[in-house]
Amino acid sequence: MAQSWSFFSAGQFTFGCGSRHELGKRAAGRRYRKVQIVTDATLAGLGMVQPLVDDLKEHGIQVEVFDGSVAEPDLEIARNAALMAGTFEPDAILGLGGGSNIDLAKVTAVLATHGGQPRDYFGWDNVPSEIIPVIAMPTTAGTGSEVSQSAVLTDRESHMKVSILSQFMRPALAIVDPELTFSCPKQVTADSGIDALTHAVEAYLSKESSEIAAEPGESIPYSGSTPIGELFAEEAIALVGRYLVAAVHDPHNREAREKMALAASLAGLAFSNCGVAVVHALEYPIGGRVHCSHGGGNGLLLPYVMKYNLPQRETKLARIAQLLDPICDYASDMEGGLLAIRQVEQLKELIGIPEKLSALGVTEEMLPEFADKSFAISRLMNINPRTPTRDDLLQILTEAL
């Protein structure tokens, strides 16, 4: 069992409305000469890319733009972005957009530095050394990719979402400007916001760091729950409980947008250290098969997994109920835990997250395959507070159908 724990974060974290205007100055201060921007055509069409290009050029920095990203990018898109980097030879790669774009920027940096194919780096700790620095500028509030060590791609062959995890992939610079989220569509705001809640809850409920089997000095993807991680997770949960509904239904609510941007990054710091677990393990094959939003899929599954974990985490789930609603009342931890589950179900309804997997096109015949593929993701199974069997996963999926 682990006797010590560590906490990792992004190299520099800059937060605040208007902070996007600091990009050129900060990039020049790091002596970057060439920056490749990884983004999507929608953001380029909205005029969000050109001001950043102009800012970088005004500071003497050459810029190339790859705008071929999409929601849930696949391996081919990653290869195409890396081909541009191979020709341009940037000394920094900027991911602008939602988590998919930032994740793509990370993988682009890995491939541009070390070569090969995305498959070469699947899983944990397969990136051999430092990569071209990544700058992350999120335009959604949810994924936490701006501070995390992971990237998720879609593998069309296996119908799975796959992860690459390495501490070398944490962005060297994260610039989180809540104003960039103001134009985020309603459904994307909902999906990304419930994703932040899922990150925070799974991190908060994860096994204690002392329960994680690791040799001294051994590199592991997640530490389990730690005091610092719990602090970030608790604050993220409280912020989501207070501000997500307002951000979804009143998109120009400046305070709600700002607080949700902060919640996303705090949740990112929590989960990228403490871990995510069964919710994410179940969503990977589901999302790969029916092509649902990663955040929306996570949010749909969250209360079902909370219910499964309740016997092992009554006290913490009761604390979640307090964080989501400071004036709530309950007579016991079990009652409080059940209340937290109902609160998440109510939140889903308020922001338009489907209640059941069938709404996403999932059928009963798909469930055994999803259970098998989820059960095989050992790094996520091992961090869950209650160790599931394959039949446990099938039961959760059946309840969620």
pLDDT digits (tens, 9 = 90+) for 213-268: 766 667 788 999 999 999 999 999 999 999 999 999 999 999 999 999 999 999 99
- Angstrom CA distances, 20 to 17, 52, 138, stand at 8, 8, 10
Strand bridging mode 160-165 / 150-155: antiparallel
Is 90's pLDDT higher than 90? yes
Phi, psi of 137 (to 5 degrees): -130, 95
Q: Is residue 4 part of a domain?
A: no
- DSSP code for 8: -
Question: Which of 181, 203, 232 is the last residue before a domain boundary?
Answer: 181
- Between CA 338 and CA 345, with CA 342 as vertex, the angle to 5 degrees is 145
Asked if residues 350 and 342 have their Cβ atoms less than 8 Å apart, the reply is no
Please give the distance of CA 369 from its chain centroid, rounded to a whole number: 24
Q: Which residues contact 346 (CB under 8 A, 6 or more apart)?
A: none
Residues 162 and 137 in one domain: yes
More confident residue, 24 or 214: 24
Burial of 125 from C-beta contacts in 10 A (0-12 / 13-18 / 19+): middle
Q: Which pLDDT does position 84 carry in this prediction?
A: 98
CA proximity to 93, closest of 132, 121, 54, 55: 132
Rounded mean pLDDT of 296-305? Answer: 98
Residue that terminates a domain, selected from 161, 181, 201: 181
Alpha-carbon dihedral angle through residues 392, 294, 166, 160, given to the nearest 10 degrees? 70
Q: Which CATH number characterizes residue 337's domain? A: 1.20.1090.10
| Residue 69, φ and ψ in degrees, nearest 5 | -75, 160
| Same domain? 224 vs 306 | yes
Query: Is the domain of 306 the same as that of 170?
Result: no
Does one domain contain both 229 and 163? no
- Angle at the Cα of 144 (from 111 to 103), degrees rounded to 5? 20
- Do 190 and 158 lie in one domain? The reply is no
Q: Is residue 289 part of a domain?
A: yes
The model's pTM: 0.96
3-state secondary structure of 175: strand
Query: Would the pLDDT of 158 be above 90?
Result: no
Same domain as 206, residue 175: no
Query: Is the domain of 194 the same as that of 338?
Result: yes
**Using one digit for the tens of pLDDT, what is the confidence trace for 170-201?**
999 999 999 999 999 999 999 999 999 999 99
Say if residue 107 is in the same domain as residue 164. Answer: yes
What pLDDT is recorded for position 212? 85
DSSP letter, residue 129: S
Q: How far apart are CA 175 and CA 376, in angstroms?
A: 35
* pLDDT on residue 5: 87
What is the reported pLDDT for 97? 98
325 within some domain: yes
Checking if the pLDDT of 82 tops 80, the result is: yes
User: How many DSSP H helices and E strands does the chain contain?
Assistant: 15, 9
What single-letter DSSP state applies at residue 310? Answer: G
Residues 163 and 198 in one domain: no
User: Alpha helices of 149-226 — where are they, by DSSP H?
Assistant: 186-205
Compute the average pLDDT of residues 302-317.
99
Could you tell me if 166 and 190 lie in one domain? Answer: no
Instruction: Give the torsion sign (CA, 372, 373, 375, 378).
Output: positive
Q: What are the angstrom distances between the C-alpha of 167 and each of 10, 109, 119, 272?
A: 10, 13, 18, 10
Of 265, 281, 275, 278, the residue nearest 209 (C-alpha) = 275
- Within this chain, do residues 163 and 263 fall inside the same structural domain, yes or no? no
Does residue 290 sit within a domain?
Answer: yes
Residues 232 and 181: their CA atoms lie apart, in Å, by 21
- pLDDT exceeds 60 at position 2: no
> What pLDDT score does 217 carry?
61
pLDDT band at 284 (very low <50, low <70, confident <90, very high): very high
Name the domain boundary from 123, 153, 181.
Answer: 181
**In-domain check, residue 233:** yes
Strands in 92-97's sheet, in edge-to-edge order, are 13-15, 173-176, 134-138, 92-97, 34-40, 62-69
Q: What value, to the nearest 5°, has the Cα angle with vertex 305 and ends 264 and 360? A: 80
Average predicted confidence (pLDDT) for the chain: 96
| Inside any domain, residue 166 | yes
| CATH number assigned to the domain comprising residue 28 | 3.40.50.1970
Q: Does some domain include residue 253?
A: yes
- Residue 215: the pLDDT is 62
Please give the residue range of the domain that contains residue 276. Answer: 186-400
**pLDDT for the residue numbered 232:** 99
Task: Name the percent of the chain lying above pLDDT 90.
Answer: 93
Q: What's the domain count of the chain?
A: 2
- pLDDT tens digits for range 118-144: 999 999 999 999 999 999 999 999 999
Is 322 a member of any domain? yes
Domain check: are 208 and 143 in the same one?
Answer: no
What is the spatial distance between Cα 270 and Cα 292, in angstroms, rounded to a whole number? 24
pLDDT digits (tens, 9 = 90+) for 339-382: 999 999 999 999 999 999 999 999 999 999 999 999 999 999 99
The closest of 202, 230, 242 to 325, measured between CA atoms, is 242
